[in-house]
Amino acid sequence: MTSLRVAHFSDTHVLSLEGVRARRFLNKRWTGAVNLALNRARHYRVEVFEALLEAVVAQAPDHVICTGDLVNLALEPEFVRVAGMLRGAFRPDQLTVVPGNHDAYARDAVVEGLFERYFGDFQPDDLGVAGPRYPVTRVLPGLLIVGLSTAIPTPVFMASGRLGAEQVEAMTAAFHADAATDRFRLLMLHHPLLPDPEQRLDVMRRLGDASALIGALRALGPRAPQLVVHGHNHAFKSQRLPGAAMPLVQVASASRFGGRHAAEFNVYVVQDGALTAIERHRHDPQTGRFVPRDPDGVALAQGA
């Protein structure tokens, strides 16, 4: 029996203001700074993310994926800090990443290509379909990973995303490649495909061209991904694409301390080319450890 374990984390929101000049806040970042002061800095802690990285490494998965929002305000010191943390935990061939909206929080970060500059070695194009940067494609024994970028600069108070027709077409080509024939097919991106009525201000946080992506996935038929994973909304959720058997799994934030949606990472268990289990590993604020749970949140055993 062929078995694979793929670990997934997202939404780390690491902050660093070291050496940042005031002029960097003469844009959307001023609203982010206010949010940090009033809310986010209390809940999203780098020490929790550090513990998560240790727990993921202890699981010894076959591969690790991250679906974006690695940084908070898209400032270069943040990218430097997170890049050091990731390289301390993983080799480039062990981790695949795509950006989220916070990684493109301000236009200057996108123009300067900060995400790709610091995390590009975790973004291969094994199938040669990217144009010019996305989608990311990684071919592994028994596994094909296709990673999309939904990260775009947005106006104040918006956290939406967009793919663009070129990227959707390249994704289709990736899943039609020969490498997709005998491998488990996994699609990763930051934004959810479906609206979330439970999410406050959801209309301002959606993937703008989700309908185009959903149409392309349905058109793939038997070549469609067997699992779609994302982050963005900081809570675990398992759904299926309406009218299809395709699982859509959302992972919680990797750095949130305590509360209803404490930090988690998922482990997807694939056996003989089929998804057979989802393990949720949730942070315990009392012990600082990550405890494995089933998809319903019931603790299974003490973890790493």
- Domains of the chain, start order: 3-293 (3.60.21.10)
Written as one letter, the residue type at 208 is: G
Written as tens digits, the pLDDT of the chain (304 aa) is: 589 999 999 999 997 655 455 555 545 554 645 455 445 555 789 999 999 999 999 999 999 999 999 999 899 999 999 999 999 999 999 999 999 999 999 888 999 999 999 999 999 999 999 888 899 999 999 999 999 999 999 888 788 999 999 999 999 999 999 999 999 999 999 999 999 988 777 888 999 999 999 999 999 999 999 999 999 999 999 999 988 889 999 999 999 998 888 999 999 999 999 999 999 999 999 999 999 998 888 877 554 4
Distance of CA 13 to the CA centre of its chain: 12
Written as one letter, the residue type at 1 is: M
Q: pLDDT tens digit string along 260-273?
A: 889 999 999 999 99
CA Rg value for the chain: 18
Residue 45 has what pLDDT?
A: 92
Note the helical H segments in the chain: 29-35, 41-43, 46-59, 76-89, 107-111, 114-119, 165-175, 210-219
